[in-house]
Amino acid sequence: MLVLCAPRSGRYLCRLIYPFQLNTNNTISPLQLLLGYLPPDRSLWSSELAKKRSQYKNFKDDLLTNPSEITRRMYNSNSAALGIDDAKSHTQTRLLLSRSRITHQDHPLSLVKTSIWNQFFQDTEIIDQIDRDVNRTHPDIHFFSGDSLFAKSNQEALKTILIVFAKLNSGIRYFQGMNEVLAPLFYVFKNDPDEENEAFAEADTFFCFVELLSRFQDNFCQQLDNSIVGIRSTITRLSQLLKEHDEELWRHLEVTTKVNPQFYAFRWIILLLTQEFNFADILHIWDVILSDPEGPQTNIYYFVGAISPMVLYMNPPMLAFYGIPLERKYD
């Protein structure tokens, strides 16, 4: 299992990334530093990138292999071990494999939990959901949508990252909307002016995605929903901050109309505001949240609490639904 890393932040990192706000051929994305993907020591960047990119390739080789391919490799291994040449392997080794190498749990109809086939069929449902969600990602941006080979290639990269993440993180797996959080990261790395960095955009995006979710992992863990660090506790704190920033709006929502904060704040937290602002702005917002020396988890409470009135006022249908006078939008 890939363990989600603990947050790392500090004023030193904020000072360090300042010169790298504009990416050039000799720099790396500030997100790689803000998210802890790369260490502060520049001399370690090249070796760290090489190690992580190789590690991601190994993840894909290990996790994305079809069970049929695994069986074929066992078949070939059995042939080599028994000294059977290629000409005979098609007739002899098939029988030998079925008798001596394929165990009950490796059979496609096996119900054993550790069976590679059983796991494959369990993963199919998640993979289908990922496929549907990725195909709907930013239909208004040609980078992600359309029939061009470039767009299709980018979609495949997003799908691969999400599948590998789901397989490595059994406690979280995949939830609807992860594609929206992933998309801005991949867009940044895929548009890197450095050709080598662009070629490894998928690997770099994967690790930065892991680091990003690790900052808010308690909100994504269903077992913690009702704990003091879970999503419900987070939403309660946001409700308190909304009261501090706009008590009139808070009172109308929670006292007059008795709207549960979960109805409007849940998406903000889980999707890290990606659906509330346009694509270009969200990365600037993430920079603010991630660069806070006190840590992003604390910062997002205050940030979302402060912008809650603005987000609501920017959405007339939501105002009308909750019975909030439209003229308040212009106060």
Q: Could you state, in chain order, the average pLDDT of each consecutive group of 10 residues for the chain (331 residues)?
A: 39 42 55 90 94 97 70 51 52 45 54 60 86 95 94 97 94 90 96 94 97 77 54 80 80 85 80 86 81 59 55 52 46 42
At 131 the pLDDT is: 96
At 256 the pLDDT is: 87
**CA distance to 18, 113, 118, 211, per residue, from 7 (Å):** 20, 33, 35, 8
Buried b (16+ CB within 10 A) or exposed e, 176-200: eebbbbbbbbbbbbbebeeeebeeb
> Distance from first CA to last CA of the chain, Å, rounded?
51
Q: With CA atoms as reference, report the closest residue to 161 among 184, 198, 128, 186.
A: 186
At 96 the pLDDT is: 42
The model's pTM is 0.73
**CA distance to 40, 165, 272, 297, per residue, from 10 (Å):** 11, 27, 21, 14
At 52 the pLDDT is: 98
**What is the CB neighbour count within 10 angstroms for residue 139?**
10
Give the helix ranges, DSSP H, for 64-148: 67-82, 86-96, 116-135
At 66 the pLDDT is: 63
Report yes or no: 167 and 184 within 8 Å, Cβ to Cβ.
no
At 329 the pLDDT is: 42
Residue keyed to tokens 């806070």: 292
Give the helix ranges, DSSP H, for the chain: 11-17, 30-34, 45-63, 67-82, 86-96, 116-135, 149-168, 178-190, 195-199, 201-215, 217-220, 231-245, 247-251, 262-270, 279-290, 296-313, 316-321
Residue 171: both structure tokens together: 């406690």
